[in-house]
């Protein structure tokens, strides 16, 4: 297969590129602000440039990873976020529908309000913040312009980072190490999911649809099953490092300020497993042990 990956310089995008390449597929990675190496620079908000690029590359699959994923940044620049998270998916859906290209759109568990987990693919979305709303609006654009596309919702991601701040999970390594006294969220439940596992799922879905000719479309969920608060993630990191987190104070109260975040958006893997996709996830503590032993 020939696969085009947007956001290929990012945490998930890099993992998707690596997964397809390792499986022997042709991969074209595109990025914008961090385009380097063999990545091609493309402004996804330039519709004419995107159309010309897609026609020139003629991919079998487009995996759309590019997005403004940081809720606080979305709140500060709502128009910019809407362009990237809503208008661009609509453009890609339209282009792929016309050309018979499989589109896999990466969405988020934040389309839900977190009040009644676990969430199945048919459960009603109710985003609590603008980030979740823009991603949900992006989903609606996908459905409108390409009903055959796949929408893959995933939760908080972690993995091999270029710097810890690329992931809200990996960034907690800094919180553990720097010794600064802070209050750490011990309220919201999260399900950290490794980008390598997400990339495998994306590749397996692509093979099923494009090579095995299995019809799969619409919304699917993929999530790790281990649940943690941010404070509990810090506990895992501290155990691996053999250090104390006495400087971190667990805060079990719902946040009263800042961007509203849902309590527990656990995504059910039921439908993904039902179409024959392996939903295995690496154990969080095992991965962190390996990662921290290499990066020390």
Active-site positions read 131
Cα 227 to Cα 121: distance, rounded to the nearest angstrom: 20
Instruction: Give, for 20, the enclosing helix (H) or strand (E).
Output: helix 11-22
Q: Look at the block and give the residue holding tokens 């503590």.
A: 285
What are the angstrom distances between the C-alpha of 102 and each of 90, 129, 263, 268? Answer: 14, 29, 33, 24
Rounded Cα distance between 42 and 207, Å, is 26
CB 130 within 8 A of CB 167: no
| First vs last C-alpha separation in the chain | 38
Determine contact, residues 167/291, Cβ cutoff 8 Å. no
Cα separation, 226 vs 284, in Å, equals 8
Eight-state DSSP code of residue 63: E
* Residue of 258, 206, 219, 38 lying closest to 138 (CA atoms): 219
What phi and psi values does residue 145 have, to the nearest 5 degrees?
-100, -20
| Sign, CA torsion 111/115/119/122 | negative
Distance CA 27, CA 18 (A): 9
Question: Which among 146, 166, 179, 158 has a CA at the least distance from the CA of 64?
Answer: 146
Characterize the bridge pairing of strands 248-251 and 102-108: unpaired
**Alpha-carbon span 74 to 271, nearest angstrom:** 30
């Amino acid at each position: 297969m020939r696969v085009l990956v947007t956001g290929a310089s990012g945490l998930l995008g890099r993992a998707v590129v690596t997964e397809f390449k390792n499986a022997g597929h042709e991969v074209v990675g595109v990025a914008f602000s961090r385009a380097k190496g063999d990545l091609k620079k493309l402004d996804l908000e330039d519709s004419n440039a995107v159309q010309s690029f897609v026609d020139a590359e003629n991919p079998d699959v487009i995996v759309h990873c590019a997005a403004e994923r940081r809720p606080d940044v979305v709140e500060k620049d709502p128009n910019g976020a809407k362009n990237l998270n809503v208008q661009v998916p609509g453009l890609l859906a339209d282009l792929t529908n016309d050309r018979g290209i499989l589109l896999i759109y990466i969405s988020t568990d934040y389309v839900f309000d977190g009040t009644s987990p676990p969430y199945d693919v048919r459960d009603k979305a109710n985003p609590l913040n603008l980030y979740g709303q823009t991603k949900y609006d992006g989903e609606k654009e996908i459905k409108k312009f390409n009903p055959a596309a796949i929408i893959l919702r995933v939760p908080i991601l972690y993995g091999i980072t270029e710097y810890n701040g690329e992931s809200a999970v990996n960034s907690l390594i800094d919180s553990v190490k720097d010794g600064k006294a802070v209050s750490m969220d011990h309220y919201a439940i999260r399900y950290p999911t490794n980008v390598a596992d997400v990339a495998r799922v994306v590749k397996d879905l692509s093979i099923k649809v494009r090579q095995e000719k299995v019809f799969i479309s619409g919304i699917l969920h993929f999530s790790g099953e281990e649940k943690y608060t941010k404070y509990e993630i810090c506990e895992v990191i501290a155990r691996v490092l053999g250090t104390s987190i006495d400087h971190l104070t667990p805060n079990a109260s719902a946040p009263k300020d800042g961007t509203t975040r849902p309590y527990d958006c656990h995504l059910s893997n039921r439908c993904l497993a039902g179409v024959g996709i392996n939903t295995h996830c690496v154990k969080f503590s095992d991965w962190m042990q390996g990662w921290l032993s290499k990066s020390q």
